[in-house]
């Protein structure tokens, strides 16, 4: 697996940039196809054998112990903030064992919308919109907190792009890397046309955080695999 250029994972134990995650985040090399054909699905079964897979970066730590992750949105564009709320709600609806709750102080996921918020991120289909996710990990590769930056470019033409970028970045925030094929929400090149969350990506989040979403354990464990087959 190769690291992309435009997002970051930082470890609490080291100030050094450890890896990359965002709209331009994790890239999967052809030779690593993440063992896709034989990778385990969230239910423990083998994948469908299609070769398609979504990379898993990491699992959330203790902040998900009660099945809740908090978030905040900082932005002065009410329309864009509403679009981001819709993207969050889509993930919340798709994950029955997780509740995403908005707070004003000390969120687990801090989202900023506005010019310059995603400098260094990538833009889908030259829309001018872009996204950037920074994930902070502890020594066990468990997520401590996440920062997401989204820059919508010239509104309102980028409504669809902002929605899909927000969903994509939230996928990173929930523990995902990139898909190894074009056209998926978690593909490196985000499609600016709004669409429902793919079941494969939802399953990959469940797989990444299986300690909470499958086992319903109280003590966090690292992600059980580096990918989830589709």
Round to whole Å and give the CA distance between 166 and 130.
Answer: 9
Under 8 Å between Cβ of 98 and 135: no
pLDDT tier for residue 167 given thresholds of 50, 70 and 90: very high
pLDDT > 90 in the chain, percent? 61
Does position 219 have pLDDT exceeding 90, yes or no?
A: yes
Start-to-end C-alpha separation, the chain: 18
Position with higher pLDDT, 11 vs 3: 11
What sign does the CA torsion over 205, 188, 143, 197 have?
Answer: negative
Residue-wise pLDDT for 199-218, tens only, equals: 999 999 999 999 999 999 99
What sign does the CA torsion over 93, 97, 100, 101 have?
Answer: positive
The architecture (CATH level 2) of 8-229 comes to: 3-Layer(aba) Sandwich (3.40)
Q: Give 3-state DSSP helix, strand, coil % of the chain, rounded to 5.
A: 25, 30, 45
CA-based angle 11:90:55, to the nearest 5? 40
> What is the pLDDT, as a whole number, of residue 122?
63
Residue-wise pLDDT for 61-113, tens only, equals: 999 999 999 999 999 889 899 999 999 999 999 999 999 999 999 999 999 99
pLDDT tier for residue 120 given thresholds of 50, 70 and 90: confident
φ/ψ bin of 220: left (φ > 0), alpha (ψ from -120 to 50), beta (otherwise): beta
Residues 6+ positions from 56 with CB-CB distance below 8 Å: 175, 176, 177, 204, 207, 208, 223, 225, 226, 227, 228
> What is the pLDDT, as a whole number, of residue 121?
77
Give the start-to-end residue ranges of the domains of the chain.
Answer: 8-229
């Amino acid at each position: 697996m190769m690291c992309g250029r435009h997002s970051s994972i930082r470890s609490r134990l080291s100030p050094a940039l450890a890896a990359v995650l965002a709209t331009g985040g994790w890239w999967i090399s052809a030779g690593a196809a993440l063992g896709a054909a034989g990778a385990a699905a969230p239910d423990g079964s083998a994948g469908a054998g299609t070769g398609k897979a979504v990379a898993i970066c990491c699992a959330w730590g203790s902040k998900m112990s009660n099945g809740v992750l908090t978030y905040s949105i900082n932005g002065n564009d009410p329309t864009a903030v509403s679009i981001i709320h819709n993207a969050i709600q889509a993930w919340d609806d798709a994950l029955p064992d997780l509740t995403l709750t908005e707070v004003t102080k000390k969120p687990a996921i801090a989202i900023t919308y506005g010019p310059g918020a995603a400098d260094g991120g990538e833009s889908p289909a030259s829309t001018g919109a872009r996204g950037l996710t920074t994930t902070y990990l502890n020594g066990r590769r468990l997520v401590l907190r996440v920062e997401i930056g989204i820059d919508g470019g010239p509104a309102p033409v980028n409504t669809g792009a902002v929605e899909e970028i927000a969903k994509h970045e939230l996928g990173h925030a929930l523990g995902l890397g990139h898909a190894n094929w074009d056209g998926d929400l978690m593909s490196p090149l985000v499609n600016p046309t709004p669409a429902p969350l793919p079941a494969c990506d939802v399953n990959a989040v469940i797989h990444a955080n299986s300690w909470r979403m499958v086992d319903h354990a109280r003590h966090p464990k690292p992600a059980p695999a580096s990918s989830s087959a589709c």
